[in-house]
Amino acid sequence: MNIENNEEPWTEVPNEDIKTLIDSPTWRDLINDIASFYVEQSALDDIWEEDEHGSQQYTEDAQNKYIFACDAAEEMIGQYFIRDEDDL
């Protein structure tokens, strides 16, 4: 383990050679689960509204948080896993 700049050992990001390959559906599920958790746990107001067809959807604010969280989750997941591009 190479610790530089007084970094804690648990903050070291694995190199590309030791990342785990995961299939695309699992990759997407991880991103969705993390982003959904973030939206639900950070909400101060109701995150759901009813659309014109009577279906539940995120409010505009919740949708923006979800998109932000998806981007952040994908970056985090990408530090430890590699998505299998063959099963897209």
DSSP track, 28-43: HHHHHHHHHHHHHHH-
Q: What is the pTM of this model?
A: 0.76
Confidence of residue 2 (pLDDT cuts 50, 70, 90): very low
24 in a structural domain? yes
pLDDT digits (tens, 9 = 90+) for 11-68: 566 666 789 999 999 999 999 999 999 999 999 999 999 999 999 999 999 999 999 9
User: What sign has the CA pseudo-torsion 35, 10, 4, 7?
Assistant: positive
pLDDT surpasses 50 at 83: yes
Report if residue 4 sits inside a domain.
Answer: no
- Domain-located, residue 39: yes
Question: In total, how many domains does the chain have?
Answer: 1
Q: What is the CA radius of gyration of the chain?
A: 17
Q: Which domain holds residue 58?
A: 14-87
Q: 79 in a domain, yes or no? A: yes
Residue 77, in any domain of the structure: yes
pLDDT value for 25? 94
Task: Tell me if 33 is assigned to some domain.
Answer: yes
pLDDT of residue 35: 98
